[in-house]
Amino acid sequence: MRRRANQNWSQSCQMSDKSGAKLKLLQGRAGGGSDYSSPCISNGSGDSRSTRTVPLKGARGVYISKKKTMHHHHSSGAAGAGGKGGGGRERGGNPSGRRLGRQWWRDSGNSYLTKPSSSSAAAKGGSASSSSATTTSVWFEHWHTKLFILWVFFMALVSLSVYLQMNAEMLVRRRDTLKTMCEGRARMLENQFLASMNHVRALTALFTTLHISKQIAMFNQETFSQYAESTAFERPLMSGVAYADRVLHEDRESFEMSHGWTIKEMFSKEKQQVFEEYAPATMSQDTVSYLTSLDMMSGQEDRENILRARASGKGALTNPFRLLESKHLGVVFTFAVYSIHLPPDATPDERVKATAGYLGGAFDVETLVENLLHGFPGSEMIAVNVYDITNELCPLVMYGHTNVSKSENTYVSSLDFGDPQRKHEMRCRYNEDALPPWTAISTSVGIFVIGFLVGHMLHASRNRIDKVEENCRMFKELKVLADEASVAKSQFLATVSHEIRTPMNGVLGMLQMLMDTRLDATQQDYARTAQASGKALITLINEVLDQAKIESGRLELEAVPFDLCAILDDVLSLFSGKSRDEGIELAVYISEKVPSILIGDPGRFRQIIINLVGNSIKFTERGHIFVCVHLSEDMEMVMEGSDYSGDDDDYSDWEVDGPGCVPLDMKCNQFNTLSGYETADDRNSWETFELLLAQEQHSYNPDHDDHHWNFSDGNDVVNLVVSVEDTGVGIPLHVQERVFTPFMQADSSTSRTYGGTGIGLSISKCLVELMSGKMRFVSRPKIGSTFTFTAQFQQMHDSVHESMLRNTNSVLQVRPLPTCFQGMQALVVDGRPVRSEVTRHHLRRLGVQVMLILSLSQSECSAAAFHSTVGGGIDMILVDKDAWGAGTGIRFPHMLCQSASEHLRQRNKYFASSVGLSHGFIAARLPKMMLVATSMTDNEHKLARENGFTDSVVIKPLRASMLSACLQQALGVWNRRDQGRELREGSRSLHKLLSGKRVLVVDDNPVNRRVAEGALLKYGAQVECVNSGRAAIVKLKPPHNFDACFMDVQMPEMDGFEATEIIRKAEMEASECMSGGILTKYHPVRIPILAMTADVIQATQAECLLCGMDGYVAKPFEEQQLYNAVAHFFEAGYV
Amino acid sequence: MGKCDENGSGMGEAMQLAAAKQQYAEHMDSLRAEGLLDDQFSELQQLQDESSPDFVEEVVLLFIQDSGRIIKNLTESLEQKPVNFKKVDAHVHQFKGSSSSIGAQRVKAVCIKLRMCCNRQDQLGCLFALEHVTREFEVIKGKLQTMLELEKQIVALGGTPPPFTDKL
């Protein structure tokens, strides 16, 4: 019989019954050793009735609830962040999860903290970072920083939730796996167990049958052993079966005798003490042959089992205990064999009495179950323990190497081994802790990092934008400040200049008045000097004021009609003295295509030209200054054209011709420019100039009407290119870029040498820009500078007559050029094509046709001679003094005479033979010879006279007015006298027209009225004056005896147009009244009314006619125009 | 003695006349050169003949008188608030007309300026321009008065002032 292994343990089990908690602690600490795994053995007793197989209900196991885990964690002092992890986390996995979680947090925190931006400081809860405390406070206020922090938190939450979800999913999967594995093992074990038990039961049934039929002797040890051995396969989990007889004490001796051995105690193998009954094993399987003769009732478990089995008639299982010999953990299964047939409802006593023996089987759980379970796949992954939990408080280990405590990660599957008194369960858990959920961790960390980076990127860019915006704002502020300062400066300058100018004007005015008084010569001189100084000062101040005005953008340009030629002539005359003194050639050329009258700001244009020419004069000691005006279209076209022809050609020309030219010219440094000196820009050299002329000629050709009028078709804008070329010292290269900077001169010595403030160019440039043009320059030191600017002007409408404009506009009131030279022909002799073109230009303005002679070649000379003598038609010959070099022109008449006489000789034999062909003869027949010179010495004058320039010497610069005066003097055409004659004739005819006529003058201005009256009186009219439109209406109420009315257009109260309309209305009524035929010739119903206006542009003829007027005259009266207007209606019908 | 005196005075008168004529010519030249007067004035002088011997003087005095009135009006108009620019414009127009009639081209030019300011409704500009106009007027007024004085001298000395001609 089997007995308990350790008595002490049963006591400890009873103790543990009272204090479960303590036990639990003990159990928690218990290591993997199975030796200590069953500290408590609970006794169980009952009938072993349940022989039926337990149906498989699938998974009957449950996980331990989460609550308990929580509690457990709490009790083990591991509360904290890990507790947050929802959804049953493994105990083993939990710390690692928590550790990971913490790691993650710190990682992200680290990356956050290592960020140099202040947002890290912000993330720390707004604690100011030491490095950037000021900016942090600013930045932290930015919404986007807050947003960024929120975003980081949000991303942390998102990644955390992703992690948790993935982790939970993984755990669920893991648990499902565990559950499947555990259930499979449990059911298999159960099946095998039950199969073994069933076989033992069958054996029991056999023994009972034998006992009933008293044939038990059939079995002895050998047969039983053989039988058992041969049927061992039916009991897969049993190490062996044995049969024990029930022997009462009175039968002991006989039993011992019959068997030949004594009944022995199970553990000591000594002779058994005296008990009431014994259960010595008589037959046993070979595997448990050591049981023979041992009293089975001597073991605690066996005894209880036997008692329970025989009382219940069913199989009974022991607690797990150490089996004899093998010392393996196992259980013993016992069945009672009865000697009689018992009814199913037999009482336990009857059963005890009827008991004949016991059949027992030992389940060697440790080895056999192990063999069974090891057959399963994945058995190394999980730890499986089987417990006897009959005593719930003290589960006993039945199988298992490691202690599997009940925890959330343990799966428990209940087992039914066929003994209803006993309960078993299988606990499974993974051998190893779940691996850290790397996928979940990396995914969530990845999400967080990506989110963080995206947020950081946006935040950083937003910060950058903020910074840039801030900078931009600062710059704008600074710019505004700077602008304000600049404007203030300009305003200050403007104010101060103005303030100086006003008293200066007073001073000048007073000086002028002082000079008007009687002063002696010295006083006069002082006053003149003072005035000159004052004027210089005023000029300077005006310049400064201009600069200031331009800078503050307050300079406005006028838009009035002006005469470009007149302005240029004017400027030229201004500098003529200086240029003559220095022997510099000063010339102006204006393209014929440039309209003579332009609308723009003449004052400013003049200022620009004066600045440029003045500058050039200042820096030029020899050579020329050439002002050239072209239409920019032409210039562009020519420039393009020259580009087309190819620069290579030009260069090759230069290279090939260059060396060859020098000996030909015989004079070094001869260039084809105005004076022959080299210029900085070859724009005005003959090569370009010729092209330009051709271009202008081409498009000026009247045959090409479309070309000619192309600028008047458009919006009447005329674009001019004006270039001022000099052959002065040039501008040093290093100062060229700041030439247009105000108050900047080449260097300080410049102002010492040449004077000036250096403001002129800057002003000129600004003015040019105001005229929507551009100014640029080309300058080569020691060679010269060429300043070129474009400017935009308006063209006059064709409807406005030029002469009308000239009469009414003060700016245009230059003396009109005389017309007496119209149709004359001139010969210009000059070796320099550019210069000859300039001369031609000026002559052409006077209406003179020009032929050019450029070289002294025989043919040209003779042609000239022919034309000037016999051919006729040539009225004058202009020869440049320096036609082919200094002073060469003076000799020309002599050469001409020679060539002419030769020519004549060849042509005409009479002349050839005649002696009369003397020098004087020819000379007398030559046209007027004029010498054009920059300057003349007395010697040269003499020489010129001797050479035949008897008529005139024209001193350059050429100007139309000056030229015409010279021509008049030379040709004896006195334009003024002619004009006077015309005038006298005109006034005579006007007198004829107007004498005796009664004329009404209507003007509110007394001066005008008086002047008009005077003028009309002079022509014999009877004049009556009124000073308003109303008075005129009264006077002109028919019938009246006025022959004409001159009406001022602009009058207060009622203007001329209105008055005329009323007068016309009254006339209409009157004519209706007199429609009976009383209308006589001498009382014209319709009185001619002529508008008097100072502004022809405003009051055009059409407007006048529209109001019932008959014409208009400009104020003040100009004879010719007055005549025209008056003749128009007086000659028509009324004598 | 008497003869001598007569002679002396006669000589003196002749010299005085010549000097006066010279001065007159210079004066007119300067008027011309400084652009104070233009051709229109010579036209006026041409209008003066036996039928109206004091025509120029009459017109000049009329001009001076009228201009004084206009300047006064202008000053008053510009001091008003708000400025009635239409009224100012009418005055300026008058002034421009009369100065143009007499050939005072500088006054006229400044009048145009004033008128431009007026069109822009630029009160400050108007005031400045008016000041300018006044100054120019004072200058021409002085000149014209000097001229009339000289003419009177010449007439008193028994001569006729040389015509105002344009020197080329």
Q: pLDDT, tens digit, for every residue of A669-682? A: 457 777 777 777 76
Judged by CB atoms closer than 8 Å, whether chains meet at B51 and A1017 is answered as yes
Judged by CB atoms closer than 8 Å, whether chains meet at A1115 and B97 is answered as yes
Chain B residues near residue A558 by CB distance under 8 angstroms: 116
The CA distance from A563 to the nearest CA of chain B, in Å, is 16
Sequence-distant (≥ 6) Cβ neighbours of residue A926 within 8 angstroms: A868, A869, A877, A893, A896, A897, A900, A948
Q: Are B19 and B82 in contact (CB under 8 A)?
A: no
Which of B40, B52, B128 is nearest residue A1014 as measured by Cβ atoms?
Answer: B52
Between CA A924 and CA A1065 the distance in angstroms is 71
Q: Worst-scoring range by mean pLDDT, A154-163, A542-551, A1090-1099, B40-49? A: A1090-1099
Mean pLDDT within A606-621: 86
Report whether pLDDT(A1027) > 80.
Answer: yes
Mean pLDDT within A736-753: 64
The pLDDT tens digits for A51-81 are: 343 444 444 555 554 444 344 444 444 344 4
Q: Which two tokens stand for residue B36?
A: 């104070």
Report whether pLDDT(A1077) > 80.
Answer: no
Which of A505, A1018, A1118 is nearest residue B135 as measured by Cβ atoms?
Answer: A505
Name the residue of chain B whose CA is nearest to A1016's CA. B47
B142 contacts chain A (CB < 8 A): yes
The CA distance from B140 to the nearest CA of chain A, in Å, is 10
Judged by CB atoms closer than 8 Å, whether chains meet at B116 and A1017 is answered as no
Q: How confident is the model at residue A461 (pLDDT cuts 50, 70, 90)?
A: very high
Question: Which of A387, A386, A383, A385 has the alpha carbon at shortest distance from A430?
Answer: A383
Mean pLDDT within A7-36: 43
Chain A residues near residue B131 by CB distance under 8 angstroms: 502
The CA distance from B108 to the nearest CA of chain A, in Å, is 8
**β-strands A1044-1048, A998-1002: how paired?**
parallel
Judged by CB atoms closer than 8 Å, whether chains meet at A1018 and B101 is answered as no
The enclosing H or E element of A1128 equals helix A1119-1130
Between CA A865 and CA A893 the distance in angstroms is 10
Q: Worst-scoring range by mean pLDDT, A27-31, A303-307, A854-858, B35-39? A: A27-31
Cα dihedral B157, B162, B164, B167, rounded to 10, equals -130
Question: To 5 degrees, how large is the angle CA A490–CA A494–CA A500?
Answer: 145
B79 contacts chain A (CB < 8 A): no
Instruction: Count Cβ–Cβ pairs < 8 Å, chain A vs chain B.
Output: 92
B45 contacts chain A (CB < 8 A): no
pTM for the model stands at 0.44
Q: Name the percent of chain B lying above pLDDT 90.
A: 0
Judged by CB atoms closer than 8 Å, whether chains meet at B97 and A1005 is answered as yes
Which of B49, B97, B128 is nearest residue A1094 as measured by Cβ atoms?
Answer: B97
Q: Are A317 and A417 in contact (CB under 8 A)?
A: yes
Chain A residues near residue B59 by CB distance under 8 angstroms: 1007, 1010-1011, 1014
**β-strands A238-245, A355-363: how paired?**
antiparallel
The reported pLDDT for the residue numbered A117 is 42
Beta strands in A1009-1068 (DSSP E): 1022-1026, 1044-1048
Residue with more model confidence, A29 or A437? A437
Report whether pLDDT(A590) > 60.
Answer: yes
Name the residue of chain A whose CA is nearest to B36's CA. A810
Mean pLDDT within A383-390: 82
Which of B48, B135, B166 is nearest residue A815 as measured by Cβ atoms?
Answer: B166
Residue A691: other Cβ atoms inside 10 A: 17
Cα dihedral A674, A677, A679, A682, rounded to 10, equals 60
The pLDDT tens digits for A831-882 are: 777 888 888 888 888 878 887 777 766 566 666 666 555 555 677 778 877 7
Judged by CB atoms closer than 8 Å, whether chains meet at A1007 and B39 is answered as no
Report whether pLDDT(A24) > 70.
Answer: no
Judged by CB atoms closer than 8 Å, whether chains meet at A516 and B146 is answered as yes
Judged by CB atoms closer than 8 Å, whether chains meet at B43 and A1117 is answered as yes
The reported pLDDT for the residue numbered A325 is 75
Which of B39, B52, B93 is nearest residue A1017 as measured by Cβ atoms?
Answer: B52
Residues in A whose CB is inside 8 Å of some CB of B read 498, 502, 505-506, 509, 512-513, 516, 558, 560, 810-811, 813, 815, 961, 965, 1003-1008, 1010-1012, 1014-1015, 1017-1018, 1048, 1050, 1052, 1094, 1115-1118
Which of A516, A1006, A1018 is nearest residue B49 as measured by Cβ atoms?
Answer: A1018
Chain B residues near residue A1052 by CB distance under 8 angstroms: 90
Judged by CB atoms closer than 8 Å, whether chains meet at A1014 and B44 is answered as yes
**β-strands A1089-1093, A560-563: how paired?**
unpaired
The enclosing H or E element of A892 equals helix A892-907
Mean pLDDT within A745-774: 72
The pLDDT tens digits for A176-204 are: 988 888 888 888 888 888 888 888 888 88
B52 contacts chain A (CB < 8 A): yes
The pLDDT tens digits for A131-172 are: 444 444 555 567 788 888 899 999 999 999 999 999 899 888
Between CA A790 and CA A1100 the distance in angstroms is 32
B112 contacts chain A (CB < 8 A): yes
Judged by CB atoms closer than 8 Å, whether chains meet at A558 and B116 is answered as yes
The reported pLDDT for the residue numbered A913 is 47
Sequence-distant (≥ 6) Cβ neighbours of residue A978 within 8 angstroms: A818, A820
Write the DSSP symbol of residue A625. E
The reported pLDDT for the residue numbered A161 is 93
For A517, phi then psi, to 5°, come to -80, 175
Which of A961, A1052, A1115 is nearest residue B100 as measured by Cβ atoms?
Answer: A1115
Cα Rg of chain B (Å, integer): 20
